Chain A
Amino acid sequence: MYNAPHPLEVRILTRRFGLPNSASIDTYLAHDGYKAIEKALAEMTPDKIIEEVKASALRGRGGAGFPAGLKWSFVPRQSPKPKYIVVNADESEPGTCKDRLLMENDPHQLIEGALIAARAVDAHAGYIYVRGEYRYLIDILDRAIGEAYQRGYLGKNILGSGFDFDLHTHSGAGAYECGEESALLESLEGKRGIPRIRPPFPAVVGAFGCPTVLNNVETFCSVPWIILNGGAAYANLGTRKNGGTRLFCLSGHINRPGVYELPMGFPLPRMIEEVGGGVWKGRKLKAVIPGGSSCPVLKAEETNLPMDFDSLQAAGSMLGSGGVVIIDEDTCMVKAALRIMRFYAHESCGWCIPCREGTMWLGKLLTRFHAGAGTMSDIDLIRELAQNMLGKTFCPLGDAAALPTISIVKKFREEFEEHLNGRKCPHEGKG
């Protein structure tokens, strides 16, 4: 279930959340459901669909923020091979928990989004790759897919248009790396979840060696509204080049944690203070991880930012997957770095040297350091090792491990120094 809505939210994707039986096709149909695909099939050419999505300035919600319409336009028109739609529902980035709500509360919106994408690129089969730990969502999705088949929104000759589309769910097995698009495709094909060499990109060589549109759940979910209301309307909700709304997952030391749909470019301070009700226990803000654990942290004084891809990038961090983690003044940043590194050491797929060995090394080193057995030179070593990983790994997971580490050492060096000479962690037990 999901948290209470906030009046500052702009509810586009979440507008059916909270309705009785919101996951059922009847509820969906009673609230604009499958109108977009009707419109797309009846009134729009595939090119027009792609144009509309381009105009919406919808950027990928999986983390990288790549323009969705542009990605779709890379799929070759004429292909002797079949094409596929793949929905990335592997949501595993620490701090991120929005796709799950979208699937749980409104699965038909996702199905319709995938269907429209299929129409746009002329794909006739699709897969929803669901994070292994989200097993219960597979039941919800399968039920919704069943309903859609029954009512003729999936399968052969959809709405009498002659267009066919089949959609399947596929369960992951519990690897963060399988959210990375090419590792996901390997896993989908039944192989080890190891990334692929790119180029070629999935739009050209994707699932089973065929052209594939692969997007995040939220990205697909945004599409029906765009088709119904027009790309321009969607773009206008956000800021320049950052169209629409986005589901922000507020977590950490905040009074009202939850998932909130806010326009792109929403100011971070207001998100913390007004939407989230401020830092918990009356404490002061120390830092924010603005887009999931892969992003460089922002110090409290750096947080006066509009939350869109470009502003965050300009500030040296990333909007990422929308996981906003609030860190209060009583938090040990060494421990935060350690906690983050443990995650990546556990999740590194092991394919490439710098990530495999770097995360292992840093995991061990930070553990020792946090326990008070560190030396001054270790502080530089931590940063150098992370620097040696950065930009040199096979996939971005290595960067995801290096970036927050580098930023924490750089911005909170004094906290590392406090741990030297066998001193006990000054924040231990503050909880």
Chain B
Amino acid sequence: MPELVKLTIDGKEIEVPAGTLVINAARQVGIEIPAFCYYEGLALQAACRMCLVEVEKAPKLLTACTLPVAKDMIVRTETPQVAAARKGMLEFLLANHPLDCPVCDKGGECELQDMTFRYGAGESRFSEEKQHIEEQQWSPVVFFDRPRCILCFRCVRICNEGMGVAALGVINRGARSEIAPNKGDHLECDECGMCIDICPVGALTSGIYRYKTRPWEMEYAGTICTHCADGCKTTLSVRNGRVIRGNNRDHSGINGEFLCVKGRYAFDFLEHPERLHQPLVRRGVELQHASWKEAVALVAAKFNEVRERGGAFGVIGSARTTNEENFYLQKFARSWLNTNNIDHRRSGDVVALLDALAGLPGSLATTADVYHAGAVLIVGADLAQQHPLLSFQVRANVRHHGARVYVVHPHPQREDKVAAQVVRARGLAGIGQIREKLAGEQSLVVLFGEHIQGADVRRLVEMLPATARYVALVDYANSRGALDMGLLPDLLPGYQPAPAPGLSLQEMVGASLDVLWVVGANPLQGRARASGFLVVQELFLTETARQADVVFPAAAAYEKTGSFTNVCGEVQRLKKGPAVAGPKTDLEIMGLLARQMGHELAPPLPEAVFEEIRRSVAGYNIPYATFVTGAASATQYPNGPIARQGSSELIRSARDTLFTSGTLGRYCSVLNSVRERDLVRVEE
């Protein structure tokens, strides 16, 4: 612990650790010192001069954002002199500012507007000609309006320090200074929109949101990103039932201010013209529109018929449906369709990891651990492409805590730049080269990709210090939850052994089953169906849906309540954003089928199913209060050997990039538009 320093701010005495900046010390006693360029976690600038304060015995005003506390310091943040300085700064800022608030996207949530309201002058004394510069488009996502820019350099820093991309810089000098892409007139970057999000004014705007609405005309739903497994919180801004914007509005949740391009912008698949709104039933060779009633009756009758004659079912679930839906699906399959032929597309060997961690409790890393650990080992994964949040956490850890990063991967990747050591080799052999160094790391977090699977996972755990914590990287928003909920032919929820293991996904798609039921997956991509009757629940007419006998239009995760479990095993709550007409949630569809079949499964309500999960699935007895307030709860793992009867070789990551997201990603116009200028994908 650093020593405590006592000081007085506006007459309030406080004690804070040495090294604390006055601006943060003030916050602790509820005094908000205005600031534009200061941004917690990013390099100090002292550029905007908004945070000037009076310090006793100092000959002039000092910037609170760069001033460390000192013993017995006396700070005053609201004196006439300070007020005059602030007013002066705002007057300077507004001199060349276009004052087009009525049409600016930022109007209503603009820091300059707020600040002017609080401290500014009512009218402008600037009667010279303003410098006008045309608005520029730098990418499909990023637009820049120079006259609105107050040159706080937040965008430059978040891109450079936060993202490790460094796509933005400053050109010219003096009043002609401009933020500009380092590539000249365009960006080659992650398109994450972090720069836009962090911009205090409306200088950076997004092609997705600009000029669409005003902030006060929207409703907000904080939910979880539907794309990768990292589980970022994203707030959907909804107007008239349409999602207009995604951002992590209150910077809460495991990702703080972070979102990648997918969590922030890739929501327009919801409104894709090919979105299914009505059930489809095959009549002759053609799939034709049908009523819900007809489609449900047809499927229920078929299911009952096959069930009664003891026919073969196959069930393929999803890595993007909720825990509640996955739990319900496997229960439906196992208890009612009497089959263990249930699986989903597996992308990382979580099962082998949990098995290997038997007897090592507390050895799964949380998202926060990736930020706090003394060292991070990344093996066989391109984190910046596949796990943007974890990649962000790693960089933040290096910046703020000086973490040592080890990269073991045959190909170059962004993490190399912050690495203490890079080993250009694969998996365990690569780790072997730095084993001694790693042995000395007492606070090590290990992130490993799909290549380490089966027995190698155990070897990995044996090679590394017993205190190490792990993340088995998986692909999608609920990949981890699908495993936990027992969408596996050999394991029930909570990794309990299934009495008689069923067929794997790969086996099911090739087998001549009587019924194949696919919920939110596209396993027949590039192959013909082998089963007798195919039922698909989907958002789009995918390659699989196209071959179906019945297609139910499903709601997307953004249109549901429920929960996801992220790559680190943290459970978070989904909140329904837009209302959707036509499609139903997978849970509702299953509920309709069960009722039609005359089977009394638990009520298909997310809350009820979640309660059952909390009661019955090992490790999921998480605090309800944490869950409903939108925070992440880490789940526990069995901490005992897992009786696996299947094989790990079936595991295969889709290896999405920043700009792809499996089948879903193909229906996101933003991703399509930036993909062409994709960062060179690190292919294995």
By a beta-carbon cutoff of 8 Å, the part of chain A in contact with chain B is 175, 177, 192, 197, 345-354, 356-361, 364-365, 368, 381, 388-389, 391-394
Contacts and interface: CB of A to CB of B under 8 A. Distances in A.
Nearest to A348: B174
Interface stretch (B3-11, B123-131, B231-239, B648-656): B123-131
Contacts of A393: 49
Max chain A CB contacts within 10 Å: which of B46, B91, B150, B174?
B174
Given A350-B173, A353-B92, A357-B175, 15 more contacts: A348-B174, A349-B174, A349-B177, A351-B47, A354-B88, A356-B175, A359-B175, A360-B131, A364-B128, A364-B129, A368-B128, A388-B88, A388-B92, A392-B49, A394-B46
Interface in B387-423: none
B173 A354 contact: no
24 contacts: A175-B173, A197-B45, A347-B174, A348-B174, A350-B170, A350-B174, A351-B45, A353-B48, A356-B174, A357-B92, A357-B93, A357-B175, A359-B174, A360-B131, A360-B175, A388-B88, A388-B89, A391-B60, A391-B61, A392-B85, A392-B88, A392-B89, A394-B46, A394-B47
Max chain B CB contacts within 10 Å: which of A348, A358, A365, A392?
A392
Contacts of A352: 46-49
B209 to A, nearest CB: 28
A354 B49 contact: yes
Nearest to A351: B47
B116 interface: no
Contact residues of B: prevailing secondary structure: loop
Nearest to A362: B128
Interface in B159-202: 170, 172-177
B151 interface: yes
Contacts of A175: 173
Nearest to A193: B173
Given A357-B175, A392-B85, A192 B170 contact: yes
A388 B91 contact: yes
A177 B173 CA distance: 10
A17 B325 CA distance: 91
Nearest to B44: A197
Contacts of A359: 174-175
Contacts of A364: 128-129
B539 to A, nearest CB: 48
A361 B49 contact: no
Nearest to A375: B127
B179 to A, nearest CB: 11
A104 B115 CA distance: 53
A360 B88 contact: no
Contacts of A392: 49, 52, 60-61, 85, 88-89
Contacts of B61: 391-392
A394 B49 contact: yes
A350 B44 contact: no
B176 A350 contact: yes
B126 A361 contact: yes
B596 interface: no
B49 A197 contact: no
Contacts of B88: 354, 388-389, 392
A248 B84 CA distance: 39
B609 to A, nearest CB: 55
Nearest to B177: A350
Given A361-B92, A364-B129, A350 B48 contact: no
B672 interface: no
Max chain B CB contacts within 10 Å: which of A357, A359, A368?
A357
Contact of A348 (B49, B150, B170, B175): B175
Contact of A365 (B128, B150, B176): B128
B60 to A, nearest CB: 4
B40 to A, nearest CB: 16
A364 B92 CA distance: 13
A360 B174 contact: yes
Interface in B49-103: 49-50, 52, 60-61, 66, 84-85, 88-89, 91-93, 95-96
